[in-house]
Amino acid sequence: MGSVKLSATNQVTHPYPLRWRSRTYAILGLLIAFVAVVAFATTIGSVQIPFFTTWRVLLSQLPLVDITPNWPSTIETIILEIRLPRVILAGLVGAALAIAGATYQGLFRNPLADPYLIGVAQGASLGAVIGFLLPFEWHGIGFGIIPILAFAGAVLSVAIVYSLARVGKTLPVTTLILAGVALGALWGSIVSYLIITSGEKIHGIIFWLMGSFSLSEWSEVRVVLPYVVVGVAIILLYARSLNIMQLDEEQAQQLGINVEKVKLILLAAATMITAAAVSFVGTIGFVGIIIPHAVRLIWGPDHRFLLPLSVLTGGVFLILADLVARTALAPMEIPVGVITAICGVPFFLYLLRRKRRAVFF
């Protein structure tokens, strides 16, 4: 056979398997941290519940754990029906925004890309604002019409951007970004106009736009969870392809990647999870751009590690940010988007200075 033959010997030792092993440990460590942070955040809130009582309530919910309840049922309701769904939703949204940001950055080979770059956020905002301004209320499936309209707005917006940017059988990335930014600006100006004419509903709209997890319920977790799980799984499958697409498209094709197909799949998956996340909690900023960069600075640009590490770091970060948002000025709630910026940006700038190397390219 005429082919390059490189006799594969397994004796060679060099840093690579070692480096992969340490990154795998980082994933496992963060997974444990994620669970710990969920439990920790659930113990803190406006009603004082002893630390160990909270843990006992949480553990009693696990299968195969036998703890006889010795706490009042109101405490169980606060922990299981108010705090836990909120913490879990925050974790899901943080994970979704972080991996969507990492995916868009990789796909567009652009360090400034975030999950909202191609019109998802502006489309969702327009849908949500229209929902706020509807003259009637509708509670068909437990969470009102606003998330449904926000989701529709987000997906529709990206679909329009996509069809505008498509040239024949290919999707030039620059055209996609420009079309997304332009259409996003259009939606944004319509949203601004609707806000100033919205009268007394303005407070609710502004709060939604800045993002908040107040009023989170299990019904919302149940809707967001499948999108995030499926979306994240699809994106993780294409981690190696994303690495190779950091070369130019021509080289990626010559290395066996069906570039247009991968672009379409990743775009669809990242858009779906972003839209699902944003629809319920509003357009929370900074998570999608800062978390992937922080992960890159610490663990390097390899998407096979960058993507899962972003999922976990994003989840942990947003749970903690929401914890600050609901407790710092209690009983007043701060929009979580404000906290992500106030807490996230200094940490990110610290990393940037400490590592002193190119963030991305």
- Between residues 214 and 251, which has the closer beta carbon with respect to other proteins? 251
Query: In the numeric block, which tokens belong to residue 311?
Result: 């999922």
What is the CA angle 140-218-223, rounded to 5?
Answer: 60
Q: How many CB atoms lie within 10 A of CB 218?
A: 15
Q: Residue 235 Cβ, how far from other proteins at the closest point, in Å? A: 12
The distance from CA 27 to its chain's CA centroid, rounded to whole angstroms, is 17
- Scanning 47-55, 68-76, 236-244, 280-288 for contacts with other proteins by CB under 8 A, the matching segment is 236-244
Dihedral sign for Cα atoms in the order 250, 255, 260, 266: negative
User: Both ends of the chain: CA-CA distance in Å?
Assistant: 40
Q: Applying CB under 8 A, which of residues 258, 298, 330, 346 lies at the interface with other proteins?
A: 258
Q: Applying CB under 8 A, which of residues 47, 240, 298, 347 lies at the interface with other proteins?
A: 240
Q: Tell me how far CA of residue 285 lies from CA of 30, 93, 150, in angstroms.
A: 22, 11, 16
The three-state secondary structure class of 219 is helix
Q: Residue 291 Cβ, how far from other proteins at the closest point, in Å? A: 17
Give yes or no for residue 8 binding other proteins (CB under 8 A).
Answer: yes
Q: Residue 281 Cβ, how far from other proteins at the closest point, in Å? A: 32
**CA 66 to CA 117: how far, in whole Å?**
48
The three-state secondary structure class of 74 is helix
- Scanning 10-18, 278-286, 315-323, 325-333 for contacts with other proteins by CB under 8 A, the matching segment is 10-18
Q: Applying CB under 8 A, which of residues 48, 256, 332, 356 lies at the interface with other proteins?
A: 256
Give yes or no for residue 304 binding other proteins (CB under 8 A).
Answer: yes
CB 311 within 8 A of CB 280: no
**Crossing angle for the helix pair 120-133 and 259-281, nearest 10 degrees?**
30
Query: 139-178 burial string, b = 16+ CB within 10 Å, else e?
Result: eeeebebbbbbbbbbbbbbbebbbeebbeeeebebeebbe
Give yes or no for residue 244 binding other proteins (CB under 8 A).
Answer: yes
- Scanning 114-122, 188-196, 281-289, 296-304 for contacts with other proteins by CB under 8 A, the matching segment is 296-304
- Between residues 111 and 144, which has the closer beta carbon with respect to other proteins? 111
Give yes or no for residue 3 binding other proteins (CB under 8 A).
Answer: yes
Q: Applying CB under 8 A, which of residues 110, 198, 253, 327 lies at the interface with other proteins?
A: 253
Give yes or no for residue 156 binding other proteins (CB under 8 A).
Answer: no
Q: Which of 235, 216, 214 is nearest to 224 (CA)?
A: 216
Q: Tell me how far CA of residue 66 lies from CA of 43, 52, 58, 76, 77, in angstroms.
A: 20, 16, 12, 16, 19
Give yes or no for residue 302 binding other proteins (CB under 8 A).
Answer: yes
**CA 97 to CA 270: how far, in whole Å?**
9
- Between residues 222 and 240, which has the closer beta carbon with respect to other proteins? 240
- Between residues 184 and 292, which has the closer beta carbon with respect to other proteins? 292
Q: Applying CB under 8 A, which of residues 300, 329, 345, 349 lies at the interface with other proteins?
A: 300
Q: Residue 300 Cβ, how far from other proteins at the closest point, in Å? A: 7
- Between residues 61 and 258, which has the closer beta carbon with respect to other proteins? 258
Longest dimension (CA), the chain: 77
- Scanning 144-152, 223-231, 251-259, 277-285 for contacts with other proteins by CB under 8 A, the matching segment is 251-259
**CA 178 to CA 111: how far, in whole Å?**
15
Give yes or no for residue 168 binding other proteins (CB under 8 A).
Answer: no
Residues 11-50 contacting other proteins, CB under 8 A: 12, 14-17
- Which residues bind to other proteins, rule: CB under 8 A? 1-10, 12, 14-17, 109, 237-238, 240-241, 243-244, 246-248, 250-251, 253-258, 296, 300-302, 304, 357-358, 360-361
